[in-house]
């Protein structure tokens, strides 16, 4: 190592976020939304009307995080009666937990009872994932890559992305699932040995997002297979992804 | 022939008189015979009995964009001579018209499917049945990779025809990412919906594409924006460029096994994109750019954060670059590999950084200035060799140049009174009926072009998007000829093209 490299190393310093569970993001970060209990039906209707991805159902007073593209417009039109907190722990294994209601403003959790038994015993200590983009816009892909970079360093938990589906314990899908990728996606999933995890990363993957009613989309794969983890985001924040996985695996982020 | 300017007001469709094809053909060939003119868009607009084919040629010397058109009748069965035979740069436009509508071109050098959209003219054309060229002979073999690749990336299929280790020909099959965006933009008529979709055309170019959309919506509705907003937009565009150029430097180091460069650049990219997150809540700038205004005015605190972060990034990136460009192990992988000559770059209609690395002076920021570049003259840098080294070196130069630009914009913005807050986004836009508008943005990969045509009710009846990758994928194929197949990963990274931006 020459002098310049030493200088670079010293400026680089320690980069990894020590406690991934306790890190705080900037106040403006759009994470888990909350709905005020005293929100009026008119306000909810305004939000439903402006929402670009039909994530809000005013009558039921529900915001579906699986459809939300995090544009924050509902917060602007309701003067903050719907508001986005910077809580990035929004991944869950239960689609019901993605429904934000005005009555309850609690953290988004995993439904422990719905976690398949073999997940923790097989993958609790090491998990290899294969990512497939099916119409992803490359922002989710970059964030998943970042989950393993010097800052977030997911590798410390024995979780990493691998090149071959044959080496993978789980599939992470990004993008709304295009028709043109349907064949390859199936082949990839089938090539993975069982038992295997299925993870949907990003709003596009969870619900199709803005592309849900495009004729170029084919989501039939998801009628065949059930996801083990839904990670909302546009794109997914690395902290959301890592924390979601750690909870699924029953791991402690401080290890 | 009528003339337009970038991000100017729209023009009535009726002012575009279709030319006889023979005349159109000669005119395009003669216009494109000089380097300062290139075609930024050429597409078929469906009409009752056929298509109005609209071609836009940008003149880099006069900042004008010439619009010329010809008509193709549905009943036409006789072929029309392809312009691509003389001007290969137009190959993808003609392929698109052929694929979508079956417009019959003769003598096209590469009339293959482009992206396999739904409702293509040829129903039997599916991505599984791509018509590959093949190669036979002693010592030759073919290597297929994809559509799923080893890293965390988007899908695309590459087939190499090789003689031993040497690549004789590379064919890229694209379209796996096709989401039907251009059609979707006609269904989703609310400007907020359109704006959100534009952010996802290529998520790594969120600012570039959402800006192109916003400018187009503003042109169609004669909406004027403030000097502050135009400076903020320029600043955001440059932050995106810095972040992605640094990400590419990191990826390049990873592929050449220089770990220090890789991790140091990863950290610098994080610092850079986190400024966007502090500014608007999203690391890619989603939500920042909207037509007519923004919810996120950059006040002092944001500007200070950006300036502090980028001053730091500038120093540290320079040190890393100094290392990279003196390491013999890196240089030997970069120099003379994957070269695209000036002539090839022109023939293929390369745009952006890749064009500039091959000595083509093409940069919308200087030749068809928009937003803050109108008032802050911009002088692009050019390299000559067109190889991996030139593309990487140009990234280094552009990072420094962009940071300087960001810092000066931040200074100017800080001097503005905090009382001049931004107007919020305008979604009640009235578009001019039966008109055409164009917007060009120089994103980090290169020239982005958005065009729209409106109907008699002032609704968008056609939306055309061109990501720089549309042109540049063929450049990668040509650059790989006679190279070692083992050099493909770094050559590919040095272009770093968009799959979804191409496939839309
Ligand atoms: S933030 Fe989500 S719920 Fe709110 S308007 Fe946007 S997409 Fe709809």
Q: Please count the structural domains in chain A.
A: 1
Helix and strand counts by DSSP (H, E) for chain B = 16, 14
Q: Is residue A66 part of a domain?
A: no
Q: Is residue A74 part of a domain?
A: no
State how far residue B446 is from chain A, nearest Cα, in angstroms. 17
Q: What is the pLDDT of residues B33-54, one digit of tens each?
A: 999 999 999 999 999 899 999 9
A25 chain-B contacts, CB cut-off 8 A: 277
Q: How confident is the model at residue A106 (pLDDT cuts 50, 70, 90)?
A: confident
Q: Which of B84, B117, B150 is the last residue of a domain?
A: B117
- Tell if the CB–CB gap between B148 and A184 is shorter than 8 Å: yes
Q: Is residue B149 part of a domain?
A: no
Q: Are residues B355 and B461 in the same domain?
A: yes
Q: Is residue B169 part of a domain?
A: no
Q: How confident is the model at residue B78 (pLDDT cuts 50, 70, 90)?
A: confident
Domain holding B34: CATH number? 3.30.460.80
Interface test with B, best of A53, A139, A152, A154 (most B CBs within 10 A): A139
Q: Is residue B158 part of a domain?
A: no
Domain holding A151: CATH number? 3.40.50.12280
A98 Cβ closer than 6 Å to some ligand 1 atom? no
pLDDT surpassing 80 at residue B76: no
Q: Is residue B240 part of a domain?
A: yes
A55 Cβ closer than 6 Å to some ligand 1 atom? yes
User: What are the start-end ranges of the H helices in B281-423?
Assistant: 300-324, 328-334, 342-348, 352-357, 364-367, 388-415
Q: Are residues B243 and B359 in the same domain?
A: yes
What is the mean pLDDT of the segment spanning B303-326? 94
Q: Please count the structural domains in chain B.
A: 2
State how far residue A117 is from chain B, nearest Cα, in angstroms. 28
What's the whole-number average pLDDT of chain B?
Answer: 93
Pick the residue from chain B with its C-alpha nearest to A84: B281
Q: Assess contact for A89 and A40: CB atoms under 8 A.
A: no
Per-residue model confidence (pLDDT) at position A245: 94
Which of A30, A52, A55 gets mutated to test ligand 1 (max ligand atoms within 8 A of its CB)? A55
Q: Is residue B413 part of a domain?
A: yes
Q: How confident is the model at residue A254 (pLDDT cuts 50, 70, 90)?
A: low
Q: How confident is the model at residue B150 (pLDDT cuts 50, 70, 90)?
A: confident
Q: Is residue A69 part of a domain?
A: no
User: CB within 8 A of B157, min separation 6: which ones?
Assistant: B130, B144, B145, B146, B147, B172, B173, B174, B176
User: Taken in order B330, B336, B338, B339, is the CA torsion positive or negative?
Assistant: positive
Per-residue model confidence (pLDDT) at position B420: 66
Q: What is the pLDDT of residues B430-457, one digit of tens each?
A: 999 999 999 999 999 999 999 999 999 9
Q: What is the pLDDT of residues B370-425, one digit of tens each?
A: 998 988 889 999 999 999 999 999 999 999 999 999 999 999 998 887 666 678 88
Q: Are residues B224 and B327 in the same domain?
A: yes
What's the whole-number average pLDDT of chain A?
Answer: 92
Domain holding B444: CATH number? 1.10.645.10
pLDDT surpassing 60 at residue B348: yes
Q: What is the pLDDT of residues B181-205, one digit of tens each?
A: 999 999 999 999 999 999 999 999 9
Q: Is residue B375 part of a domain?
A: yes
Ligand 1 centroid from CA A53, angstroms: 7
Q: Are residues B106 and B208 in the same domain?
A: no
For residues A175-203, one letter each, b for 16 or more C-beta atoms within 10 angstroms of the residue's C-beta and e for the rest, the string is: bbbbbbbbebbeebbeebeeebbbbbbbb
Q: Which secondary structure element, helix H or strand E, spans residue A41, and what is its range?
A: helix A41-50
Q: Are residues B185 and B113 in the same domain?
A: no
Q: Which secondary structure element, helix H or strand E, spans residue B70, and what is its range?
A: strand B64-73
Q: Is residue A129 part of a domain?
A: yes
Q: Are residues B112 and B197 in the same domain?
A: no
This prediction's pTM: 0.95
What is the mean pLDDT of the segment spanning A171-177? 96
What is the domain extent for residue B78? Answer: 2-117
Q: Which of B96, B117, B138 is the last residue of a domain?
A: B117
- DSSP labels, B187-249: H--SHHHHHHHHHTSSGGGHHHHHHHHHHHHHHHTT----HHHHHHHHHHHHHHHHHHHHHHH
Q: Is residue B97 part of a domain?
A: yes
Is B263 in CB contact (< 8 Å) with chain A? yes
Between the alpha carbon of residue B160 and those of residues A126, B125, B433, the distances in Å are 36, 22, 48
Per-residue model confidence (pLDDT) at position B377: 85
Distance between alpha carbon A232 and the CA centroid of its chain, in Å? 4
Per-residue model confidence (pLDDT) at position B22: 93
Q: Which of B65, B93, B117 is the last residue of a domain?
A: B117
Picking from B180, B203, B315, the nearest residue to A214 by CB comes out as B180
What is the domain extent for residue A164? Answer: 112-249
What is the mean pLDDT of the segment spanning A41-67? 94
């Amino acid at each position: 190592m020459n002098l310049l490299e030493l200088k670079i190393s010293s400026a680089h310093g320690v980069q990894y976020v020590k406690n991934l569970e306790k890190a705080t993001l900037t106040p403006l970060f759009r994470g888990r939304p909350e709905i005020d209990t005293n929100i009026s039906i008119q306000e909810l209707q305004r939000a439903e009307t402006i929402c670009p991805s039909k994530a809000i159902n005013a009558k039921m007073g529900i915001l579906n995080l699986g459809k939300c593209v995090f544009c924050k417009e509902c917060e602007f039109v309701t003067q903050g009666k719907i508001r986005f907190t910077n809580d990035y722990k929004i991944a869950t294994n239960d689609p019901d937990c993605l429904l934000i209601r005005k009555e309850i403003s609690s953290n988004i959790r995993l439904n422990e009872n719905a976690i398949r038994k073999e997940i923790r015993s097989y993958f609790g200590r090491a998990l290899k994932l294969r990512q497939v983009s099916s119409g992803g816009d490359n922002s989710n892909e970059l964030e998943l890559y970042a989950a393993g970079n010097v800052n977030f360093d997911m590798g410390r938990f024995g979780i990493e992305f691998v090149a071959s589906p044959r080496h993978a314990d789980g599939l992470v899908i990004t993008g709304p699932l295009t028709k043109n990728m349907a064949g390859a996606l199936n082949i990839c999933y089938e090539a993975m040995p069982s038992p295997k995890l299925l993870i949907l990363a990003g709003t596009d993957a969870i619900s199709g997002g803005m592309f849900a009613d495009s004729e170029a989309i084919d989501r039939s794969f998801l009628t065949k297979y059930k996801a083990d983890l839904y990670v909302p985001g546009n794109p997914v924040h690395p902290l959301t992804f890592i924390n979601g996985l750690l909870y699924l695996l029953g791991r402690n982020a401080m290890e | 022939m009528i003339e337009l300017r970038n991000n100017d007001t729209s023009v009535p469709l009726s002012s575009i008189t279709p030319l006889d094809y023979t005349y159109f053909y000669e005119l395009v060939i003669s216009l494109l015979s000089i380097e300062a003119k290139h075609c930024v868009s050429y597409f078929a607009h469906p009409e009752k009995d056929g298509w109005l084919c609209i071609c836009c040629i940008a003149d880099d010397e006069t900042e004008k964009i010439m619009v010329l058109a010809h008509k193709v009748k549905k009943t036409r069965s006789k072929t029309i001579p392809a312009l691509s035979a003389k001007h290969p740069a137009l190959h993808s436009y003609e392929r698109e018209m052929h694929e979508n509508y079956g417009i019959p071109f003769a003598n096209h050098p590469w009339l293959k499917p482009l992206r396999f959209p739904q409702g293509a003219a040829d129903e039997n054309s599916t991505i599984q049945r791509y018509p590959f060229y093949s190669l036979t002979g002693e010592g030759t073999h073919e290597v297929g990779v994809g559509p799923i690749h080893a890293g965390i990336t988007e899908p695309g299929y590459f087939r190499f025809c090789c003689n031993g280790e040497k690549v004789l020909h590379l064919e890229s099959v694209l379209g796996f990412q096709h989401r039907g965006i251009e059609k979707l933009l006609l269904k989703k008529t609310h400007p907020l919906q359109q704006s959100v979709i534009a952010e996802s055309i290529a998520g790594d170019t969120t600012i570039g594409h959402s800006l192109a959309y916003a400018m187009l919506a503003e042109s169609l509705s004669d909406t004027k924006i403030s000097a502050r907003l135009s400076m903020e937009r320029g600043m955001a565009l440059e932050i995106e460029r810095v972040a992605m150029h640094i990400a590419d430097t990191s990826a390049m180091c990873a592929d050449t096994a220089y770990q220090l460069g890789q991790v140091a650049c990863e950290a610098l990219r994080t610092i850079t994109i986190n400024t966007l997150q502090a500014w608007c809540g999203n690391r890619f700038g989603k939500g920042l750019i909207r037509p007519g205004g923004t919810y996120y005015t950059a006040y002092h605190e944001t500007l200070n954060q950006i300036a502090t972060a980028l001053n730091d990034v500038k120093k540290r990136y320079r040190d890393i670059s100094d290392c990279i460009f003196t390491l013999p192990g890196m240089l030997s992988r970069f120099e003379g590999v994957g070269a695209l000559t000036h002539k090839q770059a022109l023939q293929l209609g390369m745009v952006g950084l890749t064009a500039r690395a091959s000595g083509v002076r093409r940069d919308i920021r200087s030749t068809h200035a928009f937003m803050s570049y109108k008032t802050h003259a911009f002088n692009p840098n050019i390299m000559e060799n067109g190889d991996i080294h030139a593309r990487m070196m140009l990234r280094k130069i552009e990072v420094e140049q962009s940071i300087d630009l960001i810092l000066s914009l931040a200074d100017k913005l800080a001097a503005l009174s905090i009382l001049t807050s931004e107007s919020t986004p305008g979604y009640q836009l009235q578009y001019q009926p039966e008109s055409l508008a164009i917007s060009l943005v120089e994103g980090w990969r290169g020239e982005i072009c958005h065009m729209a045509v409106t109907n008699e009710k002032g609704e968008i009846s056609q939306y055309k998007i061109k990501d720089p990758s549309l042109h540049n994928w063929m450049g990668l194929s040509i650059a790989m000829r006679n190279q070692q197949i083992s050099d493909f990963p770094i050559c590919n990274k040095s272009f770093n093209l968009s799959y979804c931006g191409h496939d839309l």
